[in-house]
């Protein structure tokens, strides 16, 4: 059942056959390959290479084969080299010699490039839906905490007070960019390679634009050599999934921190946490940790494909068999991680009391003092120095900024009058942030509405 071999006197060595086989992983392209075969059969008929009766028989056999693949009653066997070989065997079993006519005018080179694009475009839609669900879960939590104070951090050190809703929405925006990237990727992936043949096009009167239209592509290829050798769409997709994995990893890392005893800001629902086989008290954020860990394999898939492609001459080379498994793995990995992350976020309980208590700790209101001095006419360079001296005094005395006496304030600088106390509260710090995109409750509410509208539009797309 090999699709090649006419010039060979004997069969391939077992070692070659074992290395060459790909049907164990490319079988998931079977139904997409059948869809391409239907379109190709119609084009062959339009070109006068199949009569109406032959076309009807082939389409009926393809429909029957499609059902058999879907139900599992037709499966590849060990002798099938790849998905194309297996499906041609199935067609020949149903049609005899007539099934061999379908191979005219196409090659496995343009077939597999078409199948993979169809598969990836289809699964990218499902990936987008899963991203929206996670973004939705984060947004719903953010809506509950528009004005919940939290200790914003840089370098994992207390920096300035923020609202927890603002923090949660900061994880939504990367996901929205991931959605944009997937949509933009689809524009370039929606090009049909079918009709490019092995590399030179076809001497038969085929109609690649008609095939492209039937299969849902935006257009057909412009250069047959590029059509069979292009794997930009694979590399770009894997970049998007790798970056998405990084975004999930960063969120996962924060969940791990937030649920630790030292932070104690978040409690996970029992359904989305695990325990220890030896320590009964443990409640582990395994979903977050797995998301963090699986980012490595997503990044690895991108590196794998880029490294494989970097030295290939045009056009098709068998190295390109390595393009599919990283794609399949990325899709399978994210299909597991995204729903788990969404469920974990949607059901977690935020400890508002712990967040509020932590918000002013670590001199996080120091910037408010410096800004207050600026409003009094003090140059920021001097205001920064004065505030730093006040922090140093508090560090020595082991007290917070608002606990310093009026006398001590003046001892640091005559500019530090008692009126500075008006800004030494978390609420005043947050309410002062009124500019668009900042962490005050007002801007966060506006941001929330914008994010909700964007997610609503994605759900409709």
Residue 246: count other Cβ atoms within 10 Å of its Cβ: 15
Which letter does DSSP use for residue 258 in this model? Answer: H
DSSP, collapsed to helix, strand or coil, labels residue 220 as strand
Distance, CA of 62 to CA of 69 (rounded, Å): 10
276 is catalytic: yes
All residues at 6 or more sequence positions from 443 whose CB lies less than 8 Å from its CB, including other chains? 433, 434, 435, 436, 437
Residue tagged active-site, from 260, 276, 395, 431: 276
Counting beta carbons within 10 angstroms of the beta carbon of residue 435, is it exposed (0 to 12), middle (13 to 18) or buried (19 or more)?
exposed
Name the residue among 240, 215, 239, 212 with its Cα closest to residue 227.
212
DSSP, collapsed to helix, strand or coil, labels residue 192 as strand
> Taking a C-beta distance cutoff of 8 angstroms, is the pair 192, 212 a contact?
yes
155 is catalytic: yes
Give the dihedral sign, CA 33/37/38/39.
Answer: positive
Cα end-to-end distance, the chain, whole Å: 43
Name the residue among 205, 4, 197 with its Cα closest to residue 106.
197
> Taking a C-beta distance cutoff of 8 angstroms, is the pair 25, 325 a contact?
yes
Q: For the stretch 346-360, what's the b/e string if a residue is b when 16 or more beta carbons lie within 10 angstroms of its beta carbon?
A: bbbebbeebbbebbb
DSSP, collapsed to helix, strand or coil, labels residue 105 as coil
Name the residue among 374, 433, 386, 380 with its Cα closest to residue 162.
433
Active centre residues (catalytic):
155, 276
């Amino acid at each position: 059942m090999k699709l090649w071999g006419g010039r060979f006197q004997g069969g391939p060595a077992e070692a070659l056959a074992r290395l060459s086989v790909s049907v164990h992983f490319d079988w998931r392209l079977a139904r997409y390959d059948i869809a391409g075969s239907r379109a190709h059969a119609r084009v062959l008929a339009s070109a006068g290479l199949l009569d109406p009766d032959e076309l009807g028989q082939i389409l009926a056999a393809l429909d029957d084969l499609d059902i058999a693949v879907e139900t599992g009653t037709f499966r590849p066997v060990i002798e099938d080299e790849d998905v194309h070989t297996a499906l041609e065997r199935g067609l020949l079993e149903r049609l005899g010699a007539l099934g061999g006519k379908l191979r005219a005018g196409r090659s496995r080179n343009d077939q597999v490039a078409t199948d993979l694009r169809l598969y990836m475009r289809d699964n990218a839609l499902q990936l987008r839906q899963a991203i929206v669900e996670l973004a939705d879960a984060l947004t719903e939590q953010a809506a509950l905490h528009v004005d919940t104070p939290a200790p914003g951090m840089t370098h994992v050190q207390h920096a300035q007070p923020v609202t927890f809703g603002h923090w949660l929405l900061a994880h939504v925006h990367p996901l929205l960019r991931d959605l944009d990237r997937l949509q933009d990727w689809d524009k370039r992936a929606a090009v049909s390679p079918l009709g490019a043949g092995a590399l030179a096009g076809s001497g038969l009167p085929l109609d690649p634009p008609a095939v492209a239209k039937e299969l849902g592509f935006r257009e057909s290829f412009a250069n047959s050599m590029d059509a069979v050798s292009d794997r930009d769409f694979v590399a770009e997709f894997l970049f998007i999934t790798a970056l998405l994995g990084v975004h999930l990893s960063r969120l996962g890392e924060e969940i791990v921190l937030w649920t630790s005893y030292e932070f104690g800001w978040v409690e996970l629902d029992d359904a989305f946490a695990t325990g220890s086989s030896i320590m009964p008290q443990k409640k582990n954020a395994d979903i977050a940790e797995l998301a963090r860990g699986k980012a490595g394999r997503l990044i690895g898939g991108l590196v794998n494909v880029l490294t494989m492609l970097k030295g290939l001459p045009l056009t098709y080379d068998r190295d390109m068999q390595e393009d599919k498994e990283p794609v399949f793995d990325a899709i399978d990995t994210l299909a597991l991680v995204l729903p788990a992350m969404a469920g974990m976020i949607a059901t977690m309980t935020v400890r508002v009391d712990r967040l509020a208590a932590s918000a002013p700790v670590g001199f996080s209101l120091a910037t408010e003092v410096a800004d207050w001095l600026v409003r009094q006419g003090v140059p920021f360079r001097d205001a920064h120095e004065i505030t730093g001296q006040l922090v140093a005094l508090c560090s020595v005395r082991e007290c917070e900024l608002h606990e310093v006496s009026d006398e001590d304030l003046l001892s640091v600088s005559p500019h530090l009058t008692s009126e500075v106390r008006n800004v030494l509260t978390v609420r005043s710090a947050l309410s002062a942030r009124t500019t668009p995109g900042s962490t005050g409750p007002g801007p966060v509410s506006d941001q929330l509405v914008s994010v909700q509208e964007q997610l609503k539009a994605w759900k409709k797309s």
